[in-house]
């Protein structure tokens, strides 16, 4: 007698394979799988940049573009993780003014921006997730067109710290975009507030505040 094969539908089978993974798990695993090849691509681009002839500006331009695309992909993955809630908080005592200044300086150098920064001479530390705040600033600064001018004003009150990023050449994405969703999520987990406003002379500004006491 030939062997009999019994096929059990997946939804009726027992064990871990019958459990449908949730969106958070899928995105967290996807991020893990994507970041390994992205990291390898960035390392390859860096190596080629070192080995390339200094007299080949066109090739160097393409390598810089490749590194920017890798960074942009990693950035999109980070925004997706935050939007889906598939992240873990890691709070530490941080000086927000220093963090904003560092983020603005790095972004200005990479994207040919002129950034004017106004901040208090002394600034209190806060309990923040440093990596999330860096991503928050990266998202906001990404709205500003390359080569334009922006101003950042950092102030503090008795209860919170406020950051205002303003630029005439600022393009705000759709409300359901990953960048906007991540901004709202980051501010929310820090118990803060965020607003996107029309400024004077058609300028746009993003204003967010983060409390000193979590």
Q: Which of 136, 126, 130 is nearest to 213 (CA)?
A: 126
> Positive or negative CA dihedral for 170, 81, 177, 95?
negative
Residue 12 has a pLDDT of 45
Query: What pLDDT, on the 0 to 100 scale, is given for residue 116?
Result: 92
Chunked into runs of 10 residues, the chain (214 residues) has average pLDDT values of: 49 46 61 67 72 69 73 72 71 92 89 88 90 91 88 93 91 85 90 84 84 78
How confident is the model at residue 153, as a pLDDT? 96
CATH for 92-211 (3.40.50.300, 3.30.565.10, 3.60.40.10, 3.40.109.10): 3.30.565.10
Q: What is the pLDDT of residue 29?
A: 61
Side-chain half-sphere exposure of 35, counting CA atoms within 13 A: 12
How far out from the chain centre does Cα 179 lie?
Answer: 7
Question: And the tokens for 124?
Answer: 């209190």
The alpha carbon of 168 is separated from its chain's Cα centroid by a whole number of angstroms, namely 22
So where are the chain's domains? Answer: 23-84, 92-211
- How much is the pLDDT for 6? 46
Query: Which pLDDT belongs to residue 77?
Result: 73
């Amino acid at each position: 007698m030939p062997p009999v094969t019994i096929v059990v539908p997946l939804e009726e089978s027992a064990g871990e394979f019958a459990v449908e993974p949730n969106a958070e798990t899928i995105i967290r695993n996807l991020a893990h799988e994507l970041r390994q090849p992205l990291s390898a691509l960035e390392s390859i681009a860096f190596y080629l940049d070192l080995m390339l002839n200094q007299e080949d500006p066109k090739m160097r331009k393409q390598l810089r573009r490749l590194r920017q695309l890798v960074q942009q992909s990693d950035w999109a993955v980070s925004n997706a993780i935050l939007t889906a809630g598939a992240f873990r908080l890691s709070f530490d005592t941080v000086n927000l003014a220093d963090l904003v200044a560092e983020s603005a300086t790095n972004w200005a150098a990479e994207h040919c921006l002129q950034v004017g920064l106004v901040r208090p001479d002394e600034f209190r530390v806060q309990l923040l997730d440093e990596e999330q705040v860096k991503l928050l600033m990266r998202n906001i600064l990404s709205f500003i067109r390359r080569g334009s001018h922006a101003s950042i004003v950092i102030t503090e009150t008795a209860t919170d710290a406020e950051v205002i990023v303003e630029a005439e050449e600022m393009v705000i994405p759709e409300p359901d975009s990953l960048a906007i969703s991540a901004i709202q999520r980051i501010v929310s987990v820090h118990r803060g507030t965020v607003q996107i406003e029309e400024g004077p002379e058609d300028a746009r500004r993003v204003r967010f505040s983060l409390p000193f006491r979590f």
